[in-house]
Structure 1
């Protein structure tokens, strides 16, 4: 069985740190923590689980902080977690089994794991993607990026079904301007953003509703010869959103179709086209795109950002709206029943249920709302 280190950077994490460390101590042979300036009980809590606590002066550089602690690893492999991550019980068991298999040849250099970064009200995953999670120490992997830092996987890569959950405390759910300020400082210092960070800078701008400023950043990113195709496909959707918020519907449609340069039509893109067509009153076209979304499957997209609702719930409930607009109440009711199977307690489903209870064949109401 291989030995595994856990590497973490923390700051003022007393609300969540016990949760993650109590799980990690069950599979990690050593826990290495870099504290970047906590003023609460973070260090005190960490000391209950490890003696390897280091103080790192924060300098607005996440990659530098992570590399600082990773360089102290003495085991064959190391793993990273954020303080607000959760390792479910079944994942703890799976990681322990994985440690046994990692000692067998050929040994992987990188183990990718599923990262569940968003959840539905009923607790089911809403946003999932693969993330580099366990790395072989003698391959000298290092983080890059002052913000939205990452490690580029290389060598032998193992895709594991093991899941790590990212569960922020309620107090951290609003968008902070920390990352945006780091990017703006980088630009003010004359630092050129590589393609990946152009993409993430644009996302930060959009999160802060700076659509006019985000638009040229996305356009520049899409014209770059480099850049991960997943980011480029998503950038088309982000650019479409910017155009829509700036009231340029034609440009929004063109940006959505531009995403087909990077892959076949995906569920989310189809739903976005359908939503735009429905808002323009082009209902039959909206139906086409929502039905196409239902034919897609998330398993087709390794490494993709998977937002589960776009594969079933959203196209189904929007098809209910479309057929209601077309006066075909039988089909509208059919799609409503399909959405009830997926999320019966959704406020939108409950509203539609009330609607269908009051409708009759000779009485038309004002119709269902568009999501």
Structure 2
């Protein structure tokens, strides 16, 4: 059986740290917590779980802090979590089984990151991360913001998921880090332009976000998946700005990188045609969104809503406008499978039951 060091960086996490550690304390063999300047009871809470609490001055660089946390690990493998992450009970059992069966020649085990949940417990954003890595390989974190762990060698993909349960969003924190990079005259990588675009978009600076996404798209270097979502996210910015033709062009632009459609793209194209009251075209794209296969080995972002309840709910609306109440009811019920207590879906159900008798 392999041994595992948990490595975490924390700052003012008194609301969530114990919740996180309670879900992992019986799995790992060592807990290393690096505090970067807490002014609340975070350190006191950490000391209830481990005597391996360390301090690192925050320098505005997440990669540097994560590398410091890895430096304290002593076991075979390193597992990293954020304080607002949890391992659900089923996932805890999966990791225990993995720990017993893992081939020591494996350099990294990727796990899903369920980065968001809706009010009904559905995953809203999922992607893979190299989550359990061999300590002896000395893998390094890179990037001062939206950092990544540079991993190579023998990597296996698991079905284990870490769930992110954020209490509040740090609006503007990451944007400020990128703006300091701009002020310093740092050279941006394609990845930097993509994530800077995301931060600008989240802060409703849509024109600037479009410019940053375009810089990512125009560079020959960079991960293709980032370019796919640069096109998609750019389309959202155009929609918010009321530039519908640019929106549609950006969605189709994503196909040159993805090669085949993604549910996230199809549902947005469907919504474009729905707004134009071209319901037949909208249905075509929504239906396609529900039919595309999920790739187990996909590493980039997946937004499950765009292949499940959302296109079904929109097809319910489209078919209602086409006066096909039976199909409208059918798709509303498909949406209800995922969101059984959604007031909109329950309203539709009551209305359509009268229509279909």
The bucket for the TM-score relative to the shorter chain is over 0.9
Which residue does 1:253 correspond to in 2? 248
How far 1:301 sits from its partner (Å)? 5.9
Which residue, out of 232, 236, 239, partners 1:237?
232
Q: Which runs of 5+ in 2 are unaligned?
A: none
Query: Structure 2-normalised TM-score?
Result: 0.95
Question: Residue 298 of structure 1 contacts residue 311 of structure 1 at CA under 8 Å; is this kept in 2?
Answer: no
Conserved? CA contact 2:329–2:349, under 8 Å: no
* SS, match of residue 271 in structure 2: helix
CA distance in 1, matches of 2:316, 2:23: 44
CA distance, structure 1, for counterparts of residue 237 and residue 334 of structure 2: 32
Does 2:201 match 1:206? Answer: yes
Spell out, residue by residue over 1:135-189, the C-alpha distance to the aligned partner (whole angstroms, 9 max, x if none): 11121101111111111331111111111111012xx14x511110010011101
Cα distance in 2 for residues equivalent to 1:5 and 1:337:
46
Kindly state the Cα deviation for residue 124 of structure 1 after the two structures are TM-superposed. Answer: 2.9
Q: In 1, are the aligned partners of 2:325 and 2:356 still within 8 Å (CA)?
A: no
Using the size of structure 1 for normalisation, the TM-score is 0.91
What is aligned with 2:338? Answer: 342
The 5-angstrom pairing of residues 167-182 of structure 1 reads 167-169=165-167, 172-173=168-169, 175-182=170-177
Note the C-alpha offset of 1:261. Answer: 1.4
Whether 1:318 and 2:314 are equivalent positions in the alignment is yes
1:270 corresponds in structure 2 to 266
C-alpha contact 2:127 2:302 (8 A) present in aligned 1: yes
Superposed, which structure 2 residues align to 1:96-115 within 5 Å?
96-102=96-102, 104=103, 107-115=105-113
Q: Which residue of 2 aligns with 1:368?
A: none
Question: Offset of 1:250 from its aligned partner?
Answer: 1.2
Q: CA RMSD in A?
A: 1.7
Paired position in structure 2 for 1:5? 5
Q: Secondary structure of the equivalent of 1:345?
A: coil
Q: Bigger shift: 308-317 or 352-361?
A: 352-361
Q: What's 2:67 paired with?
A: 67
Query: Is the 8 Å Cα contact of residues 12 and 40 (structure 1) preserved in structure 2?
Result: yes
Instruction: Measure, in 2, the Cα distance between the counterparts of 1:97 and 1:327.
Output: 53
Aligned equivalents of 2:316, 2:94: Cα separation in 1 = 41
Q: Matches of 2:88 and 2:81 in 1, distance apart?
A: 13
